[in-house]
Structure formats: C-alpha cells, structure tokens
Amino acid sequence: MNWFSIYVLNDEWEIGQANGYRSMGKLTGSLEWKNLVRHAEVLKRKHLKTLFNADTARFERFSLTHGDLLIDFSKQRIDTTTLALLRKYAEFSQWQTWRDRMFAGEAINHTEGRAVGHWRLRAGRTAPDDVRDVLGRMERFCNQVRFADWVGFSGKPIRHIVNIGIGGSDLGPRMLVEALKAYHLKGVRVHFVSNLDGADLATTLEELDAESTLFIVASKTFTTKETMTNANTARNWLLQKFSGEEKSISRHFVAASCNVQQAERFGISTENVFPFSDWVGGRFSVCSSVGLSVALAIGFERFQQFLGGARDIDQHFFSAPIESNVPLTLALLSFWNGSFLGARSEAVFPYSHSLRLLPAYLQQLEMESNGKRIDRDGTEVDYLTSPIIWGESGSNGQHSFFQLLHQGTELVSSDFIVMAEPDFSPPGHHDGVLANCLAQSSALAFGKSSTELEPEEIQDSWGDYRCCPGNQPSNTLVLPTIEPFTLGQLVAIYEHKTFCLGVLWNLNSFDQWGVEFGKLLADRLRPVISGNVSPEMYDASTRGIVAHFSKLKHKFIKK
Ligand SMILES: O=P(O)(O)OC[C@H]1O[C@H](O)[C@H](O)[C@@H](O)[C@@H]1O
C-alpha cells in the first residue's frame, strides 16, 4: 500500500467513522457534562426576551469590566445556573492546573514536546534574557530605520517595508498595522505579501522602488513554501535592480525567525535576523519579532505599549478568579454555545473599519488551535470542537449576510467589538456606528414578533415575512478606543480564550498536524503539475483536473 492509499483511500477507516465506533468519552460521560446537557434542554426553550424580562439586574449579573474594558454577555442564552454549571465544568477540566502549567513553562504542547511561552514575550522586566535582548535589537533597528541611520544599499532612506510571511507570520502583524493606522509614523509604508499566487508580490513590487525598500522575511520555520518562494522572487527582483550585487541583500533583507541558520543560508546576515524560540506558536507569535513590521509602522515605543496591553491581560488571566476571569468566561460561553446549544459557528463583528482584519486573524488563532478531533489522551472525541469562526466589519456585514442571522435557520453566536471613541473622527460618523452595533445585537437577541409589527406593516399580507425570531446570542466587547495598549489586551484575551477552550475540550491547542498533511500533498503534486511525474497514482478527480489544466495551458500558450 503506498502513502496515497493510506491517507486517502483507506475504506476501513472510512467505515469505522461512519459507524461511529466511539465510546462515551471521559468528558461527555462526566456528571459535569451531563448536567450541562440536561440544563441546555431547559435553556433551549427560553427566549432571551423572557430571560431579560425575568431579571432586571441581568446586565450587572452578566457583564465584566477590566480597567476600561467592558464585556457584556447578558445577551447570551444563559442564566445563573448555566454559569454555575459551566464553572463547575471548568473546575472539572482543571483549567487552573493547565493555566499554571503553561505559566510554569511545562511542555504542554505534548505532541511537539514544547512549552507554550508566547506570554513570556511581553513579560517586561521578567521576560527571559534572550527575549529582552531581541526587543532591544528591534528597538535599535526601528530607530535606525526611522531616523535614516539604516539606509538602503545606494544610501537612500527606507520608505517601504514589505513583510513576507503567511499564516501566523502574516495575519497578526497585518491586522495590527491596519488597525493602528492612526498611529503610523510619517514617511514609511508597510506592505504585506503572503499569497503564493504571484499576483500578490508582483502587484506590490510594482509600487516600490528597490533602493528604498526593506523586506522582512517573517517565518518561524524559514521553510514555508509560500514565504520562501516570495522571498526568493523578491531577492531576485532586488538583485536585478542592483546589477547582481549580493552585498545589497544585507541592506534590504532582515528576518524574523526561529531558524537563524536557514535565514543565513538565504543570505541574511546573523545581525539582521531577529530570532524567537520554538515555544512561540506561529499563530501566537505577533508579540515576537514577527511584530517587527508593526513596530516599524508605529514606532517601537508604541509597540511596547501594545506588549503592555497583552501583559496586562496575562496578569489578569493568571490571577483573576473564575467568576471574573475574562478569557475563561468567553471560552465557557463559546463552549456552551457550541457543545450544548448546537451553534456551529461564531461570528466576529468589529464595528471598526480599522479592525476589519480581526476576523481573519481570529480564524487562524481559534480554528487552527482547536479544530481537532483527537484529544490529549489520544482518543477520538465524541463532541464538536472549534466552531467555524467568521466575520466582517460592521456595518458592512449588515448589508450582506446579516439577513441569515436575523431570519435564517442557523444558530450563530456573535462577538460585537466596538470602541467608545473613534480612531478617526470626521464628524457625524461614530454615533451612527455605535447605534448600529447596539441595534444589531438587540435585534438579534430580541427579534420582532407578529404582535410587535408596526401598524403599517400589518396592512399587507407579508407579516410573517417581517417577523424575526431573535434569540441569537452575542457578546459585546467595548474598548475605550483603538490604541496599541487596548489592541494588546484584545489579542491576549482571544489568545487565552483559545487556550481555555482547548482545555475545556481536552485538546492540545498548539499543534497543527492537519496543515502539515496538506503541505505534504502539495509538495508531492508539484512535479505532477509540471508534467515530470505521471498522475497515474492519483484519484480520478485529481487526474481529470490535471488533464484539464494541461489542455488549457496549451490553449493559452497557442494564443
Ligand atoms: O511562520 P512559518 O513557519 O512560515 O509558518 C507559517 C504558517 O505555516 C503553517 O500554515 C502553520 O500551520 C501556521 O501555524 C503557520 O503560522
């Protein structure tokens, strides 16, 4: 049997899945889980409207503050018993022990034998020496670029920074650079290239002048195909502009990576590599040197403020009791919605244009971490794990998919994220943003029954079409404004929420073997696509598509 049949066409495996050869696991068989199942049957029959009417202190009871942050979860389909049962379950899952093991530096990423230390990157004075050393180098470098002590090969100051990376080496810094536009330093523009499709790099390079461009190759492993292909093409582009002068590379390329040797092999000198350790997961790496593009965009001092915000939440997460612990509470609500109420997806709606890339960042953070089916004990789970995370900035989403939330058949829990003060302030906009955000979460929660239709709405016969069932749960996170510190808080809240969810589902949130499998297949298919290997050993669909590719290719060449 070859590798292909093992992975793709093993019928026995398929039949095993279909017959559901799974015994009741240690989680679903526990009293704590069963109590939640029973309780969910009661809550499923209650409407948020009823829950609000029955309890005038619902907002006070079901909201948390941390500094200037407000987390309102009163629009979740819960009551006090739900929270009590969820917290009992959290204790059963030993969340505190797992949290303490993470903070003690234990190798809780057991399948890769690694500790989980992204929180160390922002530990300030108590951070490890190597972390502080790299931060010091980043600070010097940012100032050199900013004040033109670092210049290009021909002596021109740096005006364009291009971050070449993908996944965790792209989504975090890209989201932050976009979100912090109000804080960008003058005179430098930051670009991001991630896609293997040459259109990404080609259209970016079109805008650039090689003499004033600096590339950051951001890659934890420095082996990721997309990143290395883009980095090599960018390298050739640069060399072409400098008539093949190899020395130009060291003035125009720096790296953020764990793999210093590989970066050197690429031609980046050691002093231009900003390293981090393998206990930083890719999707948790924005506080490492992977955030260099952010630091260059907003200045190092503000980058430190961002780290300070994340540190503030680390300290809170580490010390706050179960009742007031923000990341844990968000995780418990997500766990409740997915595992007990049956919500298969969770939406994120930042009511902020600047934060519009947050959903994409959270997609990787949460789905790559908890999109798993084998638990920490090596057993296949008998419950649903990570929901599908998706979203869009408000109010744009209202004019596309919100219809499904208001009147469709899917139960979706949403996170509304909104700032009390705007980061950009043309008059007459922000009050509208706040009003829309509140209007949507209310409409989703309370809906509109036939008795609530306006008189003019019942004159025709379309009343039923106008009714909205409501009962769609949501959280609202209020931030004072968009600034580096609050974004640091936001990032750390979601990082720790993700970790807690992994604990509640008994998963290792820090590996990603599924992604590795996809990469392996792509590598093996490459020579097939180039025509150097026959597609014979592949399935009929792959063979058919490959044949169609080559037919079209020839047609295109003929033109
Ligand atoms: O930073 P790199 O090593 O280039 O990895 C980039 C990305 O590669 C894979 O897709 C992993 O699943 C991601 O977690 C990672 O962020």
pLDDT tens, residue by residue, 470-504: 999 999 999 999 999 999 999 999 999 999 999 99
Model confidence band, residue 20 (pLDDT cutoffs 50, 70, 90)? very low
Annotated catalytic residue within 211, 226, 368, 483: 368
Q: Model pTM?
A: 0.94
Classify burial at 35, counting beta carbons within 10 Å of its beta carbon; exposed 0-12, middle 13-18, buried 19 or more: middle
Residue 452's pLDDT is what?
87
Closest C-alpha residue for ligand 1 atom 4:
219
Q: How far, in Å, is the centroid of ligand 1 from the Cα of 173?
A: 14
| Sheet of strand 273-275, all strands in order from the earlier edge strand to the far edge | 189-193, 160-164, 213-218, 253-257, 273-275
The whole-angstrom separation of Cα 199 and Cα 218 is 19
CATH 1.10.1390 fits 513-558, yes or no: yes
ipTM above 0.95, yes or no: yes
Nearest-atom index, ligand 1, CA of 290: 1
Known catalytic residue: 323?
no
Let me know: does 227 contact 179? Beta carbons within 8 Å. no
Asked if 246 is an active-site residue, the reply is no
- The whole-chain average pLDDT of the chain stands at 94
Q: Which of 116, 166, 258, 260 to mutate to test the pocket of ligand 1 (most atoms within 8 A of CB)?
A: 166
Indicate the pLDDT class of residue 556, thresholds 50, 70 and 90: low
Output the CATH code of domain 3-106+322-504. 3.40.50.10490
Protein residues with CB under 6 Å of any ligand 1 atom: 166-169, 219-221, 224, 227, 282-283, 368, 512, 515
412 contacts 346 by C-beta, under 8 angstroms: yes
* Ligand 1 atom index nearest CA of 515: 12
Residues 20, 339, 395: CA angle, nearest 5 degrees = 125
Domain ranges of the chain: 3-106+322-504, 124-307, 513-558
CA distances from 489 to 327, 482, 483, 493 (A): 11, 11, 10, 6
Topology match between the domains 3-106+322-504 and 124-307: yes
Q: Which residue minimizes the CA distance to atom 8 of ligand 1? A: 167
pLDDT for 294-328, tens place per residue? 999 999 999 999 999 999 999 999 999 999 999 99
Alpha helix ranges (H) inside 320-429? 326-339, 358-362, 369-370, 402-407
234, 238, 244, 245: CA torsion to nearest 10: -120
Pick among 1.20.1250.20, 3.40.50.1100, 3.40.50.10490, 3.40.720.10: CATH of 124-307: 3.40.50.10490
**Token reading at 104:** 């003690």
- Catalytic: 399? yes
- Amino acid in the structure at residue 308: G
3 state SS of 557: helix
